[in-house]
Structure 1
Amino acid sequence: MRKAIPSLTALEIFECVARHQSLTRAAEELHLTQSAVSKQITGLEHRLGVVLFKRVKKRIELTHYGSSYALKIKKCLDRIERNTLDLIDQREEGASLDLAVSATFATQWLIPKLRDFRGKYPGINVNITARSDPFILNNTQFDAVIYYGNDVWQGTRGERLLPEGRVIPVCHPELVNPIRGVSVEMIAQLPLLHLSSREDAWPQWFASAGLDDVYKPLRGCRFELFTMLTSAAMSGLGVALVPEIFIPTELASNRLTVPSTHFIRNECGYFISYNDDPINVEALDVFSNWLHGVARLGDMAAL
């Protein structure tokens, strides 16, 4: 018996109070009386010999020890919950993976390919959450993270999946007449659509075509995500520069056309990093091997 470990009930109540920093709100969430919550916190502090909360007039605040302990306990409770859910999945002859993936890569590249994975490995469920900014992977429930960049996140175990590759101009077919041919100079006169995080894309495209002096950097709408940029181009708002790997369906269905064969190549790409302690190692290995195989096919097709 682990005598040093407080009861799970006490820890769940402590995590809830720490999250709300309110006995009243924690009691409401847990469907307990405020008195019962207060007694659990007092008992936990007595057992640990540490003051977890300081009382400031009519409110409470975490102490330094309480704040540090709360972060660790939350991580442990999340993991217990995740392990329990995974056990339920396994009972039903299945397993699950939790992935954090940049939004555009998930929507435009990964999810359309998951039907193949599902067909080959029907017992593994893949859960996807959109995450773009760097975070400490080992402090989360995610088994792995897929992200855009030029290297593996520092301090993580991972590798590159595939380069982003060719970035091409695209627009609604009615915006141009590709049969007659559209010159770079003509594109410079059309409405240009921009990705907010890549303001240098059009300048690079025009510069590589030898038309540095034609581009007007302030002209055109800006969008936060490639999915928004692609949708704007399909709606006829203008010409967008989009990685070719994200729009094969739109090009094949003629919802987008390529008005110029001139392109730029992005050597940055998409990487995967793995949690040092994944919930289901076997399922993650299966998914990783499948993912690398699909990425290699895509990389070869982009050459």
Structure 2
Amino acid sequence: MALRLPSLQALHVFEAAARHLSLTRAALELNVTPVAVSRMVARLEDALGFKLFARTKTGLALTDEGAKLQVAVASGFGLVSDTINELRSRQEESETVTLSIASGFASQWLLPRHQRFQTAFPSVNLRLQVMASRLYGPLDGADLGIRLHKAGSANDPFCFCPELIVPVCSPGYLAEYGPLDAPRQAVGHTLIHLEPTTHAWADYFDVTGIVTRASAKHVSYSDPGLALQAAMLGHGVMLGWLLAVAAPLNSGTVVPASQRIVETGCNYVLECRTREPSQSTQQVAQWLIDEMRAELAKAEPILASVERVQSRPPT
């Protein structure tokens, strides 16, 4: 059952009048006329059914009922004020860190870590700028962003992940169609294409020397996250960048579809928008790097037996 309370405005006027024991001083505080205060108090008394003030020779005095209501109202308003101040203080103390990343990395690596991130950074609000295209270009207002750097960036202190291109598919798909290295003659593979991309299937077959079959089917996606999801669902084989597929490889939702992967020598680097990022931004950057290093270390045994073919990335 809903509580039937007087209006907050009436209680606010009463609290001021009770605190000052003067309609005039209450009116000055509230920036209204004494007549308006008097009328509001009278309406409140009519609604409640009892008097809140008594007039004496020296001025206003609270009745017993008025004194009790004053304590309750003052306590309630005080609690509301304290709570608002606390919430404002928390808001001022919190900081938003904007991260520019690829959709596949966001969905498969970062989002599953959301709770761990919140535990590590309870006062940081994480905002994502998700890119469906290749990880090039400026950060466009983001505090941090993962971007592809040329060969020689492995020694960068913010080096995040090497550019390794790994054909991946679901375990069920591999069991049914076999690896790319020795495809079954009866049924061709389905190749999942990503457009645009730094390495297409034609580049992969040219570098690795694997011969494609004419019976191969083709499906194209413009979003890397959707392409990866299709591979996880068994729809075909996708050229997966280790940045996005390390976590699915470790969880077993995808497996290598070939014994040959492409190593470009380039690296994904976690860039900072400014030379002097905030302390929260620096801490978030280090947390991301540490988490990815642990992910890559876990994936090493899975990729230990595959052949790494060196290649220069297309321009």
Q: TM-score range by the shorter chain?
A: 0.5 to 0.7
Match of 1:226 among 207, 224, 227: 224
- Output the amino acid matched with 2:100: A
Aligned-pair identity (%): 22
Contact 1:103 1:130 in 2 (8 A): yes
Q: Secondary structure at the match of 2:218?
A: coil
Name the residue aligned to 1:115. Answer: 115
Change over 3 Å in CA distance of 1:112–1:261 after alignment to 2: same
2:147 aligned residue: 147
Q: 1:124-163, aligned counterparts within 5 Å?
A: 124-131=124-131, 132=133, 134=136, 136-137=138-139, 141-150=141-150, 159-163=158-162
Q: Which residue of the other structure, out of 292, 296, 301, is the alignment partner of 2:298?
A: 301
Summarize the alignment of residues 152-231 of structure 1 with structure 2, pairs less than 5 Å apart. Answer: 159-171=158-170, 173-174=172-173, 176-177=175-176, 182=179, 184-186=181-183, 189-198=188-197, 200-207=199-206, 209-212=208-211, 214=212, 219-231=217-229
> Which string of whole-angstrom CA distances, capped at 9 and with x for unpartnered residues, describes residues 235-269 of structure 1?
44322222345345645665544444443334333
2:168 touches 2:254 (CA, 8 Å); kept in 1? no
In structure 1, the residue matched to 2:272 is 274
The answer for the alignment partner of 1:287 in structure 2 is 284
Q: Secondary structure at the match of 1:114?
A: helix
Aligned 8 A contact 2:189 2:215 in 1:
no
Shift in alpha-carbon separation, 1:121–1:187, aligned structure 2, 3 A: farther
Residue correspondence of structure 1 range 233-252 to structure 2 within 5 A:
233-247=231-245, 250-251=248-249
Mark the runs of 5 or more structure 2 residues left unpaired by the alignment.
1-86, 301-315
**Bigger Cα Rg:** 2
**Mapping 1:95-106, distance limit 5 Å:** 95-106=95-106
Measured against aligned partners, the alpha-carbon deviations of 1:74-93 in whole angstroms (never above 9, x if no partner) come to: xxxxxxxxxxxxx9575454
Supply the distance in 2 between the matched residues of 1:245 and 1:119 (Cα, whole angstroms): 24
Q: Which amino acid aligns with 2:150?
A: N
| 1:109-168 deviation digits (Å, cap 9, x = unpaired) | 23323332221221111111224565554xx54222223443799xxx984321133513
Task: Map 1:55-70; keep pairs closer than 5 Å.
Answer: none
Structure 1 length as normaliser, TM-score? Answer: 0.54
Change beyond 3 A, Cα 1:205–1:146 = closer
- Give the secondary structure class of the aligned counterpart of 2:292: helix
Change (3 A) 1:260 1:98: closer
Give the conservation status (yes or no) of the 8 Å contact 1:152–1:273: no
Q: Does the aligned pair in 2 maintain the 1:169–1:259 contact within 8 Å? A: yes
Partner of 2:265, secondary structure, is strand
Counterpart-to-counterpart distance in 2, 1:191 and 1:300:
30
Q: Which moved more, 1:190-199 or 1:281-290?
A: 190-199
CA–CA distance in 1 between the matches of 2:238 and 2:184?
10
Segments of 4+ moved more than 6 angstroms: none
Q: What is the rounded CA distance, in whole Å, between the counterparts of 1:217 and 1:248 in structure 2?
A: 29
Separation of aligned partners in 1, 2:160 and 2:89: 28
Task: Specify whether residues 292 and 235 from structure 1 end up closer, same or farther in structure 2 by C-alpha distance, changes over 3 A only.
Answer: closer
Match of 1:78 in 2: none
SS of aligned partner of 2:163 = strand
Q: Distance in 1 between matches of 2:288 and 2:247?
A: 20
Greater RCO (Cα-Cα under 8 Å, separation 6 or more): 1
Q: Per-residue deviation at 1:287?
A: 0.8
Following superposition, the deviation at residue 220 of structure 1 comes to 0.7
How far apart, CA to CA, are the structure 1 residues paired with 2:189 and 2:216?
Answer: 13
Asked whether the 8 Å contact 1:164–1:243 carries over to 2, the reply is: yes
